[in-house]
């Protein structure tokens, strides 16, 4: 998945997420971008869809929010399964990848002949500071 040149809206949404400390809901992003001409949710959702497709943004299913991918390198290759810890206190999200879990899940899904398309692993709790 090569990363093409981003459009204006995509760039605005990406910047908003990148400069945010933690995850943001689509509507929070919308509010942040009103000064830049954003008026409707669809403008945000359409940009988010593309950014997810490019692997630059992740959706956190358990909190209906979006976060910039923390991988420093480009997004030209698949990262495999992505997992997150999400702190209920400060909202901090940590992204991580683990080959062992990926292998194990692969084994288990293969055993039931299940064809995986998207894997969600989200761990909610409290980080060191907020424990």
Per CB under 7 A, residues contacting DNA are 7-10, 25-28, 37-43, 45-47, 50, 64-65
* Interaction partner, residue 124 (DNA, a second copy, none; CB < 5-8 Å by kind): a second copy
The closest alpha carbon to 46, from 24, 62, 64, 30, belongs to 30
85 binds, among DNA, a second copy, none (CB under 5 to 8 A by kind): a second copy
* Backbone angles phi and psi of 39, in degrees to 5: -125, -25
CB nearer a second copy, residue 5 or residue 112? 112
The one of DNA, a second copy, none whose footprint includes residue 7, by CB under 5 to 8 A per kind, is DNA
Shorter beta-carbon distance to DNA: residue 6 or 105: 6
Yes or no: say if 87 and 123 are a contact pair by the CB < 8 Å rule: no
Other CB atoms within a 10 A radius of the CB of residue 92 amount to: 17
> Half-sphere exposure (CA, 13 Å, Cβ side) for 129?
8
């Amino acid at each position: 998945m090569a990363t093409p040149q981003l459009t204006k809206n995509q760039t605005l949404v990406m910047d908003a997420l990148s400069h945010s400390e933690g995850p943001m809901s689509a509507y929070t992003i919308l509010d942040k971008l009103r000064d830049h001409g954003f008026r409707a949710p669809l403008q945000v959702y359409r940009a988010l869809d593309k950014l997810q497709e490019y692997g630059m943004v992740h959706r956190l299913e358990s909190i209906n929010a979006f976060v910039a991918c923390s991988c420093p390198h480009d997004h030209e290759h698949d990262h495999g399964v992505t997992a997150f810890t999400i702190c209920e206190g400060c909202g901090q999200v940590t992204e991580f990848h683990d080959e062992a879990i990926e292998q194990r899940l692969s084994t288990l899904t293969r055993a039931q002949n299940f064809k995986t398309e998207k894997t969600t692993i989200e761990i909610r709790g409290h980080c060191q500071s907020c424990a």
